[in-house]
């Protein structure tokens, strides 16, 4: 299972394709405090990233090579910044 949904955290594992975006979106929409564990994520479709950026997710664990994901941190931060400045 590329995404395992727990109560507060969803664990993304391996390759997450476009078809998982809708479910992830719904899960994050239910509770904005939910987090994502990206430790084992190796690849995700743009639609998945779009969902993450849309919800300004909080990441509980970044992948080991977290430098690779800096762009996502920036994208999420800019979303949060937008929300704070334009509530």
Residues that bind other proteins (CB under 8 A): 18, 21-22, 25, 43-47, 49-51, 53-54, 65, 67-72, 74-75, 78-79
Which is closer to other proteins, CB of 8 or CB of 43?
A: 43
Which is closer to other proteins, CB of 9 or CB of 69?
A: 69
CB 3 to other proteins: min, Å: 14
- Write down the number of H helices and E strands in the chain: 3, 4
CA angle 77, 25, 47 (to 5 degrees): 75
Query: Three-state DSSP class for 77?
Result: helix
């Amino acid at each position: 299972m590329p995404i395992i949904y727990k109560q507060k955290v969803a664990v993304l594992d391996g390759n997450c394709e476009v078809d998982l975006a809708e479910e992830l979106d719904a899960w994050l929409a239910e509770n904005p405090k939910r987090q994502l564990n990206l430790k084992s994520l190796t690849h995700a479709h743009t639609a998945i990233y779009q969902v993450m950026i849309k919800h300004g997710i909080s990441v509980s664990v970044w992948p080991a090579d977290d430098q690779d994901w800096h762009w996502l941190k920036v994208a999420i931060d800019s979303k949060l910044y937008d929300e704070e400045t334009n509530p």
